[in-house]
Amino acid sequence: MTVEPLATPSAPPALGPYSPAVRAGDWVVLSGQVPLDPATGTFVGGGIEDQARRVLDNISSILGDCGLTMRDVAKSLIFLIDLADFAAVNELYAAAFGDHRPARSTVQVAALPANARLEIEVWAYAGDR
């Protein structure tokens, strides 16, 4: 199977040597998104709600660059630096996905890049698209 980086003009600039999205067979895999403004590359401050909105908007935009939507997401992984933020993130996550319910894991971690409070990665099924 070939793994190919995908064009993602809506993605914030990468913080390291990685691709924001790759195609691997029938799958599009997005690198974890932290709350970076794609227009400026700057970290979005504020509370967990502001950061979660930015991350979910980034994911939706990057999926759009790849010809996909949130409904194509089969699996997500949420990293939180504080599980006390779970309820707030869960509410925004549910709104972003509507009635679509991909498989999901949520874990607490010690720290994230750019001092983010959360990071979310997703796997989306692209089939023959």
Using a pLDDT cut of 70, give the percent of the chain over it: 100
Count up the domains in the chain and report the number. 1
24's enclosing H/E stretch is strand 21-24
pTM: 0.96
Average pLDDT over residues 96-114: 97
Average pLDDT over residues 84-102: 98
CATH number at residue 99: 3.30.1330.40
Model confidence at 82, pLDDT cuts 50, 70, 90, reads: very high
Q: Which residue range forms the structural domain that includes residue 117?
A: 3-125
* Residues contacting 95, CB < 8 A, separation 6+: none
Task: Write the CA distances from 88 to 14, 36, 41, 74, 118, integer angstroms.
Answer: 26, 19, 24, 22, 12
**DSSP result, 48-115:** HHHHHHHHHHHHHHHHHHTT--GGGEEEEEEEES-GGGHHHHHHHHHHHHTT---EEEEEE-S--GGG
